[in-house]
Chains A and B, each alone.
Chain A
Amino acid sequence: MRKNILITLTIAAGLFIGCKEEQKYPTDKKYWDTKDYSEVISEIKYNTKQDEKLPTFDNPETKLLLEKLTDEENFNVVLNDDQLGIKHRSEVAQSFFDEWRRMSEIYTMTDRTDKYVYEKELIEIWNFGLELQLKYFQLGNEAITERADDPNSDQIKALTDSNINTMVSNMTHFLDEINKENSFTTEGHLLIAKAIDKNFTHLVSTYPDYNFSALLTKTKLLLNKTQSDPIRESLKKLEAQIESTVANNQL
């Protein structure tokens, strides 16, 4: 950090005093770390009165907060930085994952017609979590392999496979939202479809050797069930990708 002139800090101090409300959330901070997430999530969870509206994307005063909260760059800037050690990145990923789990509980409420009150916030937080989990489990497995005497041993393989199983299972929970598609609006369906396109494509291409049969079965069942065109299109793409991966593996 560099500081040149006295006036800068004087003005900064003035702004600090003048804009207390603005400073409630560190929206001017370029990257949020897990401490920021912890504080912001606690603030939203515990300091919003029951009948008050939670911070949302459609409120100009809280739009920036939501954008920061769901900005994947916050974890990518650390987890993708190969100058940092795998153990360190894996620990940071664990902390982000813990915070995401807390965050994912905030926007789940539904109204009297079973519609989600905060569907955009809910799906964007899911989206954040899906991308995070891909990195978190990948780093966890890299850390296990790095520390192992024999990374190719059956024991290590079983451990890393078990982690992938957990990740796929966690990610598949997101598809369960399709069973509740009537709780979302058309805009919500579009967001769900986008999240499937982005994250599940990445999942299948990252682990081409993994047995995705359970995911394929679920995809097919949901394809028969969904009434939403964008979701159907995304599921079709996912189905085709898994089948193509299986076919390539059999060659």
Chain B
Amino acid sequence: MRKKIFIYSSAALFIVLAVFFTLRKVNFLDYQAPVPYERINEITFENFRGLEFFQKSLYGNEAFAYIFTSIDYEYNNDSLKIEAFFHPSRSYVYNKKAYSKDLLKHEMYHFKITELHARMAKKEILEMQQPTKEDIETSVEKIKEEEELFQRKYDDETFHSYVLGKQKKYEILIDSLLLLHKAYTKPNIYIK
């Protein structure tokens, strides 16, 4: 009898923990599919649906948000699709009804940095001569690492948008770089 109770309790605990940790990663209770970069202008804090159980403030500031973005790629016969996505159910804001243009803008520039690196990856792959799948994967992974460093530098120098002068400089820089890579906006590229 005791053994059974122990097994049922352990199973229940395991399920609760599994649900809890999954919810922390992706809020499947309020799920929204990843949003591609072309729809960036539609994003508001209403789309930040992730849950946060532990971190209640960022350096003492309770009005904070974080964004989860990714560079995804998939092969389609002779083409390769590389796309930047915003993940609503993995992104968090302290209050979905928050009206803070500065905070939203700062988070959106994180998404723009991801898009910039997706474009850089497409450019690099298009410049390769008959790249293998391995070449492509190595290139994308390398650019993802560069993106991560860029994202960290952006947060550090702007101190999460606290330093408005730096924030504006980054906005100009990122917009300029996006413009410079405008030719690589479309997700699909055709490999030579």
How big is the B interface, by class? 20 to 34
Asked if B60 and A1 make an inter-chain contact with CB atoms under 8 angstroms apart, the answer reads: no
Q: At the interface, yes or no: B77 with Cβ under 8 Å from chain A?
A: no
Min CB distance, B6 to chain A, in Å?
27
Instruction: Tell me whether A83 and B24 are in contact in the complex, defined as CB-CB below 8 angstroms, given that A2-B66, A2-B67, A3-B68 are known contacts.
Output: no
Instruction: Tell me whether A6 and B24 are in contact in the complex, defined as CB-CB below 8 angstroms, given that A1-B64, A26-B60 are known contacts.
Output: yes
Bound Cα distance A2, B144 (Å): 14
Min CB distance, A17 to chain B, in Å?
10
Segment of B30-38, B123-131, B159-167 engaged in the interface with chain A: B159-167
Most buried by A among B69, B156, B163, B167: B163
Instruction: Tell me whether A1 and B65 are in contact in the complex, defined as CB-CB below 8 angstroms, given that A6-B21, A26-B59, A30-B156 are known contacts.
Output: yes
List the 9 closest pairs (A to B, CB-CB), nearest first: A1-B66, A83-B164, A81-B165, A29-B59, A83-B165, A3-B66, A13-B54, A2-B151, A30-B159
Bound Cα distance A155, B148 (Å): 55
Contacts of A77 in B (CB 8 A): 159, 162-163
Min CB distance, A73 to chain B, in Å?
10
Contacts of A12 in B (CB 8 A): 55
Asked if B58 and A1 make an inter-chain contact with CB atoms under 8 angstroms apart, the answer reads: yes
Bound Cα distance A122, B162 (Å): 29
Bound Cα distance A30, B65 (Å): 18
Contact indicator per residue, chain A 68-87, by CB within 8 Å of chain B (1) or not (0): 00000000010001111000
Q: Would you mind naming 29 contact pairs between A and B with Cβ atoms under 8 Å apart?
A: A1-B58, A1-B64, A1-B65, A1-B66, A1-B67, A1-B107, A1-B160, A2-B66, A2-B67, A2-B69, A2-B152, A3-B66, A3-B92, A4-B68, A6-B25, A9-B24, A9-B55, A12-B55, A13-B55, A29-B59, A29-B60, A30-B156, A30-B159, A77-B159, A81-B164, A82-B165, A83-B165, A83-B168, A84-B165
Contact indicator per residue, chain A 53-97, by CB within 8 Å of chain B (1) or not (0): 000000000000000000000000100011110000000000000
Q: At the interface, yes or no: B119 with Cβ under 8 Å from chain A?
A: no
- Mostly, the A contact residues are loop
Q: At the interface, yes or no: A31 with Cβ under 8 Å from chain B?
A: yes
Given contacts A81-B164, A81-B165, 11 further A-B contacts (CB under 8 A): A1-B65, A2-B66, A2-B110, A4-B148, A6-B25, A9-B54, A16-B54, A29-B59, A30-B159, A33-B162, A35-B60
Bound Cα distance A33, B155 (Å): 17
Interface residues of A, CB < 8 Å — how many?
A: 22
Contacts of A30 in B (CB 8 A): 156, 159
Contact indicator per residue, chain B 87-126, by CB within 8 Å of chain A (1) or not (0): 0000010000000000000010010000000000000000
Bound Cα distance A16, B53 (Å): 14
Residues of B whose CB lies within 8 Å of any CB of A are 21, 24-25, 54-55, 58-60, 64-69, 92, 107, 110, 148, 151-152, 155-156, 159-160, 162-165, 167-168
Considering only residues 1-37 of chain A, those with a C-beta below 8 Å from chain B are 1-4, 6, 9, 12-13, 16, 26, 29-31, 33, 35-36
Min CB distance, B11 to chain A, in Å?
23
Bound Cα distance A6, B17 (Å): 14
Contacts of B68 in A (CB 8 A): 2-4
